[in-house]
Amino acid sequence: THGSAAEELLKTAEMILGEQKNVAWIDFYPGENTDTLIEKYSARLENMDTTTGVLFLVDTWGGSPFNAASKIVMNSKQDHYEVVSGVNIPMLTEIFMARDDNLLFQELVKIAVETGRFGVKALTAEKLTETV
């Protein structure tokens, strides 16, 4: 993600669910570029178990973190490398819980997208009075 949001999102998810294994985050700061991110991603991937796949969760579609992850996905000789944008806490917590269920990789991708969308809501005073 841009800035240090990735680290903080992971810390928040771990506050809810406990420490997670085989997960990494990458910060992206001003002055860095897509090549820098590719180097950072590649270094992290070297120390991870990628046999069941790699799911890159990024903040914005088309941003530098997305573009760098997309290049890795497109150049990978591995199956099951994907990028999902719009990362949020509901998405992270659901994925972390679901991966313990030994789901197929594509099912995790689907959960990421659906939960990420479902986790974005608006609460208005009008809705509050309807439910009270």
Query: 15-27 pLDDT, tens per residue?
Result: 999 999 999 999 9
Q: How far is it, in rounded angstroms, from Cα 52 to Cα 108? A: 11
What is the domain-level CATH number for residue 57? Answer: 3.40.50.510
* Whether residue 14 has pLDDT greater than 90: yes
Catalytic, 80? Answer no
**Which pTM does this prediction carry?**
0.87
The boundaries of the domain holding residue 106 are 5-131
Count the domains in the chain: 1
Handedness of CA 37, 40, 43, 45 (dihedral sign): negative
Q: Of 2, 44, 80, 110, which is the active-site residue?
A: 2
